[in-house]
Chain A
Amino acid sequence: MSTAIETTIKFEVFRYQPDWDEPTYQLYDVPYREDWVVLDALNYIKDTVDGTLTYRWSCRMGVCGSCGAMVNGYPKLTCAAFLSEYMPGPIRVEPLVNFNVERDLVTSIEGFMEKLESVQPWIIREDGATDDLKSEYLQTPDQHAAYQQFSMCINCLLCYAACPVSSHSDEFIGPAALALAQRYNLDTRDEGVEQRRDVILKDEGIWECSFVGECSAVCPKHVDPAGAIQQAKMTGAIDYYRRLLMPWTVKS
């Protein structure tokens, strides 16, 4: 039996319960395993040290998008943040910033869900033909490539935590929802550009974005929301000048 002293790593975990006046940070010693990620450490704490710790998780492999948190101040999927990257520690885990905290690491995503719904991120057909399961809508590889990367979003909300605009504007539609709006606007099968226009082209849509680009930097799925917003700004600006200078060419 090995007599080696087990290596541990210190965790400082944000704790808040609804009946508390103030949040606090709780310290935990977690055994270090080279193949562990922050989520494994949280599970270790919950299973063996403190069953009251609350956080969201599901797939453990960067697909479900539910385990996002601030790890040492940086938005990360906790299932993709290896302890080895943070040795010798400590590792501070906090809920994603720019969201209200419900309990410990769990944030309220209601505001985001409303914004997401407002951009109608689904295929809209003027003929209502999406109900007809027999129809085929063919796309060339190039047409598919135009929006493909924007469709990789898993709604983990790291981009909202990284976004300086989201930090001061509750109304800003934000990176993920705008990237998904662009994903459908670029889809040749979709006919919903007009229906999304009002939401996207207001100040709180694309125009509040200050193009810092952190949304794209933190995205675990390599989506480029900043690029999507820039594309939408270009079409939005052309649309603006067209309405201003050639109003007769615009459908009311």
Chain B
Amino acid sequence: MRGRSHEPIWWSLFGLGGITAALFAPVMIFVVGIGGAVGWDAMTEALAHGEDGIGALLRHTPVRAVLGLILALVTVHAAHRIRHTLIDLHVHAPPAVLIVASYGAAAVVSALIAVVLALF
């Protein structure tokens, strides 16, 4: 179809990232930030082992894979929002430049996340 947009690719990744953030970010914040502090037994125990507790969790490959996927999707979500906000703020750049810059940045950040996760 003439003039058909390929924006659905970015929009669906944006949507997926948004849902992922909404579903998992509160859980992750609770697990590493609040759970131990409020005396949730399992987390208190894990945190009592310090870095080892969290580290042991991250040494499981499936955990790293899922965590990497979650963080990558959230990064793409942020990139999409930033791209459209820049357009709304009248940043005049060719659409292709903005696409490469925003999702390219998301790809770089995702790659860095992958590297950090691989170090565990």
Instruction: Decide whether A and B assemble into one complex.
Output: yes
- A236 interface residue, CB < 8 Å from B? yes
Secondary structure of the B contact surface, majority rule: helix
How long is the Cα–Cα vector from A164 to B3 in the complex, in angstroms?
A: 23
Instruction: Report B-chain residues with C-beta under 8 Å of the C-beta of A137.
Output: none
Count of chain B residues near A, Cβ 8 A: 17
- A33 interface residue, CB < 8 Å from B? no
Instruction: Report A-chain residues with C-beta under 8 Å of the C-beta of B3.
Output: 198, 202-203
Instruction: Report A-chain residues with C-beta under 8 Å of the C-beta of B4.
Output: 201-202, 240
Interface size class for chain A?
A: 20 to 34
Instruction: Report B-chain residues with C-beta under 8 Å of the C-beta of A221.
Output: none
Instruction: Report B-chain residues with C-beta under 8 Å of the C-beta of A167.
Output: 88, 90
CB-based A-B contact count at 8 angstroms:
47
Instruction: Report A-chain residues with C-beta under 8 Å of the C-beta of B85.
Output: 210
Instruction: Report B-chain residues with C-beta under 8 Å of the C-beta of A165.
Output: 87-88
Stretch at the interface among B7-15, B29-37, B40-48: B7-15
The answer to whether B8 touches A212 (Cβ under 8 A) is no
Q: Contacts A198-B1, A198-B3, A202-B3: A240 and B84 contacting too (C-beta < 8 A)?
A: no
Could you list 7 examples of A-B contacts with CB < 8 Å?
Answer: A168-B87, A205-B5, A207-B7, A210-B87, A211-B84, A237-B8, A240-B9
A interface residue numbers (CB < 8 A to B): 164-165, 167-168, 197-198, 201-203, 205, 207, 210-212, 233, 236-237, 240-241, 243
